[in-house]
Amino acid sequence: MLPERQGNRMTSEVNTEKSVAIGWSAKRNLADYIAQITATGREAVVVRAPRVLVFTTTFHPIMGPAEHALCRLMASMPDVHFDIVTAAHTKEALTSDCPVSNATIHRVGWGTAFDKFVLPFLGGMRGMELAGKHTYAFSWSVMASYGTLAALSVRRKRNLPLLVTLADQSLSWYELLFLRLITGRADQVYASSKWQGAKLASLEERMRARKSLGEGDAFANQIRFAYSGFLANKK
């Protein structure tokens, strides 16, 4: 879903000579195993659409480095649709179109600075409504803020896995405490800088990409890797 980049492995081979030498042998044929899973597990499989539910406190036309990186990421993935739940913040935003064709903005509020305070409630309601209409690969809070609170309510009530990425934000002690409280409930947390990772050592397990998002895990890893690249290249 992303353009090719350095380090991609397009082909691979499995050499089992050493395993065979110590007595190992395959007990199943791969094609038969896939056929068995397809036949017996079809009803249990949830097909995740190439669609992501995004929560961000601000978005176009109020744009910082995190929001610009988000736009560049979405533009690089035209086959994926992004639903963005955000606060309006300004009157201009209420009538502003999304700058990326494969994204839809869902604004809450009345176009005032107060809108961010209602985002955890109105944004959560909008997110649950969207999660009832679409099957998302996962939900994503771009920065740990008011939008994360809305995302957490959707995660709890709709059982939708949550990825939280942190931009290069400076954090006071009370912001750090708030951050640990809200991200401690996320499925996966990604810090874009080493110093943030050090401060969030208590979230080390969630900051590792290990099946934390279930079926959407590999997709989320791909997105967060690309997003960090766009965030680092701010031009």
- The answer as to whether 116 is a domain residue is yes
- Taking the CA atoms of residue 190, residue 194, residue 197 and residue 201 in that order, the dihedral angle to the nearest 10 degrees is 150
- Using CA atoms, how far apart are residues 87 and 92, in angstroms rounded to an integer? 12
Mapping DSSP to helix (H, G, I), strand (E, B) and coil, where does residue 208 land?
Answer: coil
Q: What is the pLDDT of residue 37?
A: 75
Provide the pLDDT confidence category of residue 133 given band limits of 50, 70 and 90.
very high
- The answer as to whether 43 is a domain residue is no
Q: What is the pLDDT of residue 172?
A: 63
Higher model confidence: residue 93 or residue 210?
Answer: 93
Instruction: Judge whether 139 and 162 are in contact, CB under 8 Å.
Output: yes
Residue 183: domain span: 49-232
17, two tokens: 């000579």
- The answer as to whether 16 is a domain residue is no
Terminal Cα-to-Cα distance of the chain (whole angstroms): 23
Higher model confidence: residue 204 or residue 172?
Answer: 172
Higher model confidence: residue 190 or residue 42?
Answer: 190
Strand partners, 188: 163
46, two tokens: 């949830």
- The answer as to whether 20 is a domain residue is no
Provide the pLDDT confidence category of residue 82 given band limits of 50, 70 and 90.
very high
- The answer as to whether 204 is a domain residue is yes
Q: pTM of the prediction?
A: 0.74
Total of domains in the chain:
1
- Give residue-wise pLDDT tens across range 52-72: 999 999 999 998 888 999 999
- DSSP letters, 27-75, are -S-HHHHHHHHHHHHGGG-----SEEEEE-S--TTS--HHHHHHHHHHH
Please count the residues of the chain. Answer: 235
Q: What is the pLDDT of residue 32?
A: 87
Q: What is the mean pLDDT of the chain?
A: 80
2, two tokens: 């992303």
Instruction: Judge whether 148 and 182 are in contact, CB under 8 Å.
Output: yes
- The answer as to whether 38 is a domain residue is no
- The answer as to whether 192 is a domain residue is yes
Q: What is the pLDDT of residue 174?
A: 59
Provide the pLDDT confidence category of residue 27 given band limits of 50, 70 and 90.
confident
Whichever domain contains 221, its CATH number is 3.40.50.2000
**For the chain, percent of residues with pLDDT exceeding 70:** 74
- The answer as to whether 72 is a domain residue is yes
C-alpha distances (whole Å) from 109 to each of 70, 86, 94, 97, 198 are: 22, 9, 9, 16, 36
Q: Give the pLDDT mean for 136-156.
A: 89
Provide the pLDDT confidence category of residue 211 given band limits of 50, 70 and 90.
very low
193, two tokens: 């800088």
